[in-house]
Structure 1
Amino acid sequence: METKGDWRVSLAGECMVSRPFSMHDEPEFLEVWDLIKDADVSYGHLEMNFAVPEELKWPARGQGIGSFMMSDPAIAKDLKWAGFDIMSTAHNHSFDFGAEGLVATKKHMKEAEIVTAGTGVDLERASEPGYVEKKNGRVALVSTSSGNQHFMWANHAKGSFMARPGVNPQRLQFEFKVDPQTMQNLKDFAEKLNIVKPPKHGPKDAFGFLIPGAQQWGDPECFVEGDECEIVSSCNKRDLARNLRSIEEASSMADLVIVAHHFSVSDGPRGDTPPRFVREFAHHAIDGGADIYVGHGWHKTLGIEIYKGKPIIYGIGNFFAHSEFIQHVPYDSYDAWGHDVDALPTLHPALHPLHPGLDTPSSTWWSSCILQAAMKDGKLASLRLHPVEMGRESNKEATLHRRTGKGKHALTEGRPMRAKGEDAVRILERYRHLSEPFGTNIEIEDGVGIIRV
């Protein structure tokens, strides 16, 4: 019998899934689910909500360029068919349809017998680990999200008010270091517009201003003088302490602990390097008892670090890319994307653009890897990367080879299939290149990436 420290774990990326899929039987498709099921436990990130209209009231977000993620609850059963045991639900779309949508998603996933973590009816339930019982032992998942708006955070009951359902937040703060000349320019700019406001966080000599229209979001940006310009992000200490308590609980009550961290913000444009606060949180998570850290949110693959014998996957990428097929699109999305909402009855969900990431070619949106981790005595022994694609090649043109529909704007079919040939090599080469700065070596053998520890 294997010891409780020995595990085979399959990890998949962001499931923006809005179409049933269990009826398909192409060999390249079934290979994907063979890989998911070839493990003691299988994890994926659910970047979707499940509900029927009768369970909802109205879209809660009402702002911003982005998809409103909601689809048929029956798809949760397809995810169970696919082999998923446990899935994270904390992300920037968790509150798209308010408390009703969040609670409905949890309910439908439970009915499909998939354990979830990261959202709940209050902050305690959103922060608590999800547990799944497996033959090899007990697995825990702690799920958190960075970058959500204030009203999406779960809270506690207080002052005779009920608690707000929401996500388990891992908030962050930024400091903007600037050289002396830039600092003087900023002060001149803010004083001329009369928008100077000291920040609540940062050193005593920090400078801040608040742009009109952003007053409702609270603390102004924090600028500090330094030798050069750089953005310094860090974890909110109270959220970090709360999440570490959840990880401590999970480590005490389970034999394998996975921490999932969804981050939709960055230190500047979304590049190929994880933000500082993400590396800070990932290291704290492993130090606090996590066995595997999985990051997602940028819809692209990022590097892998082996830290104290445990894998940190900074960006696991997309696994389903079905956002173009969301059938019920609210007013706010048409408005945000510039469609003529005065002609609302003529607008329909096949219009373009309606979803981010799909309006320009992307070499990273349509591909990722299924990661199979072999843990031995509580440490990583090997990590195998099996490349998958969602209907486009991972080149600059994002060449389409699986299409749905016959409209002028080509819709990408969006299911994961095993990537082959040059496309598989490109997917793996990206992971190899981005992992090298962390001292991680990925060997590519017969279309599979291998990390040996």
Structure 2
Amino acid sequence: MALPPAGSSASLSLFLCGDVMTGRAIDQILPHPVDPQLYESYVQDARHYIQMAEKKSGQKIQRPVPLDYVWGDALEVWRQRTPDLKLINLETSLTTHSVPWPAKEVQYRMHPANVAVLTAAGFNFCSLANNHTLDWGREGLLETMETLQKAGIPFGGAGKDQAEAVKPTLLQTQKGRVIILACGLESSGIPKAWAATPAQPGLHLLPDLGSDTVETIAEQVIALKAPGDVVVFSVHWGSNWGYEIPPSHRRFAHDLIDVAGVDLVFGHSSHHPRGIEVFRQKLIVYGAGDFLNDYEGIGGHEQFRGDLSLMYFPDLDPATGQLVSLQMVPLQIKNFRLQHASAQDAAWLRDTLNRECEKFGAGVALQDKYLILTF
């Protein structure tokens, strides 16, 4: 299936997606699963989520699956697009540590031996500043970081101490350098106790969205950004469901661009895609939606179609960071595998996103089965 033409070959081409949740049931279908015991109030065995997915689809998932199984049709899309960088929010702890965070309702972990599922996708960066990377304690976070380092996958938003957690990640491409700042907010479900301190590991947790926070980010950007650099701000914020964008989020995103010199705001935490804005020719994705999860068969919130995912392909002018184009590929999660969405589902996503983007002066058109942002 051919994609519509991308931007100029001189453009910086990125791949973005929301939450990648390779733990719990997905870990259980991979070659090296951890102990399936969970400490959730309703489910104590991760394999139960496999049974729910199989019941919903009416198909058996043969185990173990190949390490690239979960990416399905996304693999061919990546081969066609060949983005300069692939950036994700990894919402899973990579650990065998068996003691969960006290009183944490939901726990995600994947065996470190399954990290090849991430390298099979060729991800270039993982944000760890979210509400699941300490599900299995600080020991689990440390093992997650060590596993990613050994696999050669850069990450940000977490560290052995506060200085490391807030440190931006610098990635070099043939089109220039990309600077990534990754952080999270308590509004996404991150416990305050998960914030890194000078003496203990943790996450880059923003205190608020006020002007002092913007100035702190601006100082980081000014210290690093040189002509030709593109700055991406990855932020885990807000609720899981619903389309409303809090005014504080929009104001903060605008300030990041106006005051801090950020070129692209990459928001996630919502389980479904939210509205998109282009402000001063810079892209703001308020909520990218889940990219991969194990929610099949779990009831509730069906009206938001959490089974549908989007691959975001923004092309940027590397000299200015301005958006040249944004194309999105609709997918559906079925049997924990990404597949092309049907024409009907692609049209539903178009109509839904067009409705939400119109609030910000943008729109979404459907070309073949692919979505194009108009602005």
Query: TM over 0.5: same fold?
Result: yes
Kindly state the Cα deviation for residue 243 of structure 1 after the two structures are TM-superposed: 3.0
* AA of the residue aligned to 1:76: V
**Structure-2 change in CA distance of 1:301 and 1:27 (3 Å):** closer
Residues 1:48 and 2:92 aligned together: yes
Superposed, which structure 2 residues align to 1:116-131 within 5 Å? Answer: 116-131=155-170
Please give the root-mean-square deviation of Cα atoms over the aligned residues, in Å: 2.7
- Residue in 2 that maps onto 1:38: 82
- Residue in 2 that maps onto 1:149: 191
- Residue in 2 that maps onto 1:399: none
* AA of the residue aligned to 1:63: A
Where 1:442 maps in the other structure, the secondary structure is strand
C-alpha distance in structure 2 between counterparts of 1:417 and 1:112, whole Å? 26
C-alpha distance in structure 2 between counterparts of 1:42 and 1:29, whole Å? 12
* AA of the residue aligned to 2:288: I
Superposed, which structure 2 residues align to 1:42-121 within 5 Å? Answer: 42-53=86-97, 58-60=99-101, 62-65=102-105, 67-121=106-160
C-alpha distance in structure 1 between counterparts of 2:71 and 2:316, whole Å? 31
C-alpha distance in structure 1 between counterparts of 2:271 and 2:20, whole Å? 10
Superposed, which structure 2 residues align to 1:428-439 within 5 Å? Answer: 428-439=350-361
Check conservation: 1:130, 1:140, Cα contact below 8 A: yes
Superposed, which structure 2 residues align to 1:409-420 within 5 Å? Answer: 413-420=335-342
Residues 1:260 and 2:260 aligned together: no
Where 1:315 maps in the other structure, the secondary structure is coil
Residue of 265, 269, 278 corresponding to 1:293:
265
- Residue in 2 that maps onto 1:277: 248
C-alpha distance in structure 2 between counterparts of 1:3 and 1:387, whole Å? 22
C-alpha distance in structure 2 between counterparts of 1:374 and 1:27, whole Å? 24
Which structure has the larger Rg? 1
| Cα deviations by residue, 1:275-321 (Å, 9 ceiling, x for unpaired) | 22221221222221222111111212100000111100001001111
- Residue in 1 that maps onto 2:287: 315
- Residue in 2 that maps onto 1:214: none
C-alpha distance in structure 1 between counterparts of 2:292 and 2:67, whole Å? 13
Q: Where in structure 2 are there 5+ consecutive unaligned residues? A: 1-6, 31-65
Residues 1:248 and 2:293 aligned together: no
Kindly state the Cα deviation for residue 29 of structure 1 after the two structures are TM-superposed: 4.8
C-alpha distance in structure 2 between counterparts of 1:134 and 1:420, whole Å? 34
Residue of 195, 200, 203 corresponding to 1:164:
200
Residues 1:446 and 2:368 aligned together: yes
**Structure-2 change in CA distance of 1:154 and 1:323 (3 Å):** farther
**Structure-2 change in CA distance of 1:4 and 1:125 (3 Å):** farther
Where 1:257 maps in the other structure, the secondary structure is strand
Kindly state the Cα deviation for residue 41 of structure 1 after the two structures are TM-superposed: 1.2
Larger mean CA deviation between 80-89 and 257-266 belongs to: 257-266
C-alpha distance in structure 2 between counterparts of 1:26 and 1:237, whole Å? 40
C-alpha distance in structure 2 between counterparts of 1:27 and 1:262, whole Å? 26
| % identical aligned pairs | 25
Where 1:247 maps in the other structure, the secondary structure is helix
Superposed, which structure 2 residues align to 1:189-200 within 5 Å? Answer: none
Q: Where in structure 1 are there 5+ consecutive unaligned residues? A: 157-162, 173-234, 325-351, 353-357, 392-412
Check conservation: 1:146, 1:265, Cα contact below 8 A: no
Kindly state the Cα deviation for residue 360 of structure 1 after the two structures are TM-superposed: 2.0
- Residue in 2 that maps onto 1:365: 306
| Cα deviations by residue, 1:214-239 (Å, 9 ceiling, x for unpaired) | xxxxxxxxxxxxxxxxxxxxx24544
C-alpha distance in structure 2 between counterparts of 1:283 and 1:121, whole Å? 31
**Structure-2 change in CA distance of 1:315 and 1:23 (3 Å):** closer
Where 2:225 maps in the other structure, the secondary structure is helix
Query: What is the aligned residue count?
Result: 322
Check conservation: 2:68, 2:120, Cα contact below 8 A: no
* AA of the residue aligned to 1:246: Q
**Structure-2 change in CA distance of 1:168 and 1:290 (3 Å):** same
| Cα deviations by residue, 1:74-131 (Å, 9 ceiling, x for unpaired) | 3332212212111211012222222211111111112221111101112211111112
**Structure-2 change in CA distance of 1:382 and 1:427 (3 Å):** same
C-alpha distance in structure 1 between counterparts of 2:367 and 2:144, whole Å? 40
Kindly state the Cα deviation for residue 253 of structure 1 after the two structures are TM-superposed: 8.6
